[in-house]
Each structure stands twice: as C-alpha cells, then as structure tokens.
C-alpha cells in the first residue's frame, strides 16, 4: 500500500467548549496519511493519475476554517470523512494537535484511522 501524506498543516478555526473559545480562532495542526495506489502516476508522470495533495490540503483548509465544532473528536471525524468521500480515499489516518490546550503539555490531540488499507 502506498501513502500520500500532509504533515504539519496549520489551520485557524473556532474549536472548544468554553465561552472564550467560541469567540476566538485557535490553531490546529494536522498530520494526514491517505492510502492511494501511486503505480499509475509513477508510470505516466501525470498529476491526473494521483491524489493531488494540494487539492486535498486546500479542501481541508477551507473546511476547517469554516467549521465551529466544540470537540476535537468531532472535527477530526468530519475532516476524515470529507477527505474519504470527496477524494475517494479508502483509508485515512489523521492526527489533530491542539497545541496549548493543556497547561504544561506541549501537544494535545487525537489520532483516528478510518477505512481499510
């Protein structure tokens, strides 16, 4: 199985359960791994034959910037779903990091995998 990935994608969004969190944008950092067979693209050297990670990243950025979920769990699930359905990706592993959410911790977040490899 081949994996196309995006690492360290920083996006500002409204996320959180507290009143003050609903009034500001916070940065989430995404690492995304997506299953995709690259054999055809490797043979043709044509962007049309692969998963266009620029298109995926722009779609995810637009989606997250417009979202206003309370929980990172919900945001992660919805990002995973939109990638899989929009780009016909069979498997996605998503790490969502909400840095600074817990005092004393450098990283806080969630990792989910959906689909089949």
Q: Active-site positions?
A: 98
**Helix/strand/coil (H, E, C) string of 42-65?**
HHHCCHHHCCCHHHHHHHHHHHHH
Rounded CA separation 28/3 (Å) = 22
Where does the chain have alpha helices with state H? 39-44, 53-66, 72-87
Please choose, from the candidates 44, 58, 41, the residue with its C-alpha nearest in 3D space to the C-alpha of residue 6: 58
Rounded CA separation 10/110 (Å) = 15
Name the DSSP class of 72.
H
């Amino acid at each position: 199985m081949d994996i196309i990935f995006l690492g360290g994608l920083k996006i500002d969004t409204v996320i959180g359960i507290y009143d003050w969190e609903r009034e500001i944008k916070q940065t989430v950092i995404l690492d995304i791994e997506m299953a995709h067979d690259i054999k055809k693209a490797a043979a043709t050297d044509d962007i049309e034959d692969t998963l266009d990670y620029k298109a995926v990243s722009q779609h995810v950025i637009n989606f997250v910037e417009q979202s206003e979920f309370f929980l990172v769990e919900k945001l992660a699930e919805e990002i995973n779903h939109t990638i899989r359905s929009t780009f016909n990706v069979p498997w996605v592993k998503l790490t969502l990091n909400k840095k600074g959410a817990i005092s004393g911790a450098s990283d806080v977040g969630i990792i989910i995998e959906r689909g089949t490899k």
